[in-house]
Structure 1
Amino acid sequence: MHDAVTATGEVTGGVKVLLRLEGLTLFAGMVLLYAVWGGSWAVFALLFLAPDLSFLAYLADSRSGAIVYNAAHSYMVPVALLTVGFALEWPLLLSIAMIWLAHIGLDRALGYGLKYQAGFGFTHLGRIGRAKDPLGKA
Structure 2
Amino acid sequence: MTTRAVAGTPRLLLRLEGLVLLAAATWVFSRTSQPWWLYAALFFVPDVSFAAYAAGSKFGSVAYNALHSTIGPTILGLAGLALGSLPLLGVAAIWAAHVGFDRALGYGLKYATGFSDTHLGRIGLKSAGA
When normalised by structure 1's length, the TM-score is 0.88
The residue aligned with 1:54 is 49
Q: Distance in 2 between matches of 1:53 and 1:115?
A: 15
How many residue pairs end up in the alignment? 126
Q: CA deviation at 1:97?
A: 0.2
The alignment's C-alpha RMSD in Å is: 1.2
Match of 1:69 in 2: 64
Taking the TM superposition and a 5 Å limit, the aligned residue runs for 1:36-115 are 36-115=31-110
Spell out structure 1 runs of 4+ moving beyond 4 A: none
Q: Residues of 2 paired with 1:33 and 1:95: CA distance? A: 7
Partner of 1:23 in structure 2? Answer: 18
Q: Which amino acid aligns with 1:83?
A: L
Shift of residue 37, structure 1, vs aligned partner: 3.1
SS of equivalent to 1:121: strand
Deviation at 1:109, TM superposition (A): 0.3
Q: Using the TM superposition, give the Cα deviation of residue 38 of structure 1 relative to its aligned residue in structure 2, in angstroms.
A: 2.5
The one-letter code of the counterpart of 2:28 is L
Q: Give the letter aligned to residue 101 of structure 1.
A: A
Which amino acid letter does the alignment assign opposite residue 49 of structure 1? F
Amino acid at match of 1:67: V
- Give the C-alpha shift of residue 28 in structure 1: 0.5
Structure 1 alignment gaps of length 5 or more: 1-6, 133-138
- In structure 2, list runs of 5 or more residues that go unmatched: none
Q: Does residue 126 in structure 1 map to residue 121 in structure 2? A: yes
Quote the Cα distance in structure 2 between the aligned partners of 1:117 and 1:100: 23
Percent of aligned pairs with the same amino acid: 49
Contact kept, 8 Å, 2:32 with 2:89, in 1: the verdict is no
CA distance in structure 2 between the partners assigned to 1:58 and 1:117 by the alignment: 10
Residue 23 of structure 2 aligns to which amino acid in structure 1? Answer: A
Question: Which of 1 and 2 has greater Rg?
Answer: 1
CA contact (8 A) 2:18 2:102 kept: yes
Structure 2 letter corresponding to 1:73: H
How far apart are 1:9 and its partner, in Å? 1.1
